[in-house]
Amino acid sequence: MKFDPWNPEFIAHPYDAYRHLRENDPVGFFEPTGQWLIARHADVNALLRDRRLGRSYLHMATHEEFGRQPEPEFQEPFWRVIRAGMLDVEPPVHTRLRRLVSKAFTPRMVESLRPRVRKIAMELTEGLVERGGGDLLAEVAEPLPVTVIAEMLGVPEADRHLLRPWSADICGMYELSPSLEAQHTAVRAAQEFAEYLRDLARIRRDRPGDDMISALAQVVDDGDRLTEDELVGTCVLLLNAGHEATVNATGSGWWALFRNPGELERLRADPGLMPTAVEELLRWDTPAQMFERWVLEDIEVGGVTIPRGVEVALLFGSANRDPEVFADPDRLDIGRVDNPHISFGAGIHFCLGAPLARIEMAESFGALLRLAPGLALAEEPAWKPNYIIRGLESLKVTV
């Protein structure tokens, strides 16, 4: 099987194709998207840290100056929201936006959330156990990170059901060559989400609570530290990034354990392995298979010159299975200690929420292992048709 991000079989098992790329074509041009695919860990890691590449080029050139077409007019409301968040800007704006929220995500700050995360994980797991099983994804993996990030930001409980659909629709735009319908759906979701947050921020500016939207709404008044668009973009990003990958990592993680029953037993017998198990599950089947970067100046990668103006596609899933870096890379080893996986990225955009994601995964896996000792797969799960943000449709289990 060749690299084919639209093929369900490839999405379900991309690892043979990745091996082929690493061995034969580690820096290769992919005609269908016009991108350069980067398959080896050393190259992915280096390019993520290389300032001659960027998540955006708009801080230094217009679309035309960069030799690209502007996006169609109808997408404007989408990009207005997305390009106001830190993930899609470069310094100095990136530095300013990241600094405003980074204090809330330091390992110490998120460690103080652990008791709350544990309580939510236990309650959700108890519900699943009482029902005799069900969809682990919908009943535990999704509500946990959604509740945590919604509480941090201060999204009222009654509105939280809106977050998953908005996020899923917005993510549709990030897939390779999204359909016109997916593009319109993403635009509409971004618009609705932005309007919702703008209203909520105005309410909190006048009557602040002890939450992040209130804190950011106070800063907007300062004028030059945060614009209203940036507030909205930041909150959309935190709410989406704050659950999307964690949901998928939890689902894929359990699926990995079910396929490797020896490792599942090992974790049950020794819960002290949880920290290395979380890292290994993130490495073995990473929830975000590919991240893209614009090439801002000509670069050379593995003897290949890649010109300014094109995009590279960094294959995280491939980097995480590179035998140059990981001994016996296709083996799931929950005790693996030397594990420099790339699932949280690297460089200036390194995942801000990594400490929180680690706690959420450890607590939800821990609760399920403790409270559902007989947890077993009820039916083989199917993958969603998405490649870039990859996850299972559902994960039916019995307890």
Rounded CA separation 374/352 (Å): 35
Rounded CA separation 63/39 (Å): 28
- Region 307-346 residues binding ligand HEM, contact defined as CB under 6 A: 343-345
For residue 265, the minimal CB distance to ligand HEM (Å) is: 24
Residue 84 touching ligand HEM (CB under 6 A): no
Residue 364 touching ligand HEM (CB under 6 A): no
For residue 163, the minimal CB distance to ligand HEM (Å) is: 13
* φ and ψ of 148, to 5 deg: -65, -50
Residue 125 touching ligand HEM (CB under 6 A): no
Give me the 134-173 binding string for ligand HEM, x by CB under 6 A, dash otherwise.
-----------x---x------------------------
For residue 283, the minimal CB distance to ligand HEM (Å) is: 10
- Region 223-282 residues binding ligand HEM, contact defined as CB under 6 A: 237-238, 241-242, 245-246, 249
- Of 300, 280, 295, 395, nearest to 343 (Cα)? 280
Residue 291 touching ligand HEM (CB under 6 A): yes
Beta bridge partners of residue 314, listed in sequence order? 38, 291
For residue 74, the minimal CB distance to ligand HEM (Å) is: 25
Complex with ligand HEM: residue 185 or 234, whichever CB lies closer: 234
Say if residues 263 and 334 touch (Cβ distance below 8 Å): yes
Which stretches of the chain are DSSP H helices?
8-12, 15-24, 41-49, 76-82, 93-102, 107-111, 114-130, 136, 143-153, 163-171, 180-206, 212-220, 228-241, 244-259, 261-269, 274-284, 316-319, 354-371
Residue 287 touching ligand HEM (CB under 6 A): yes
Interface residue list for ligand HEM (CB under 6 A): 55, 86-87, 98, 145, 149, 237-238, 241-242, 245-246, 249, 287-288, 291, 343-345, 349, 351-353, 356-357
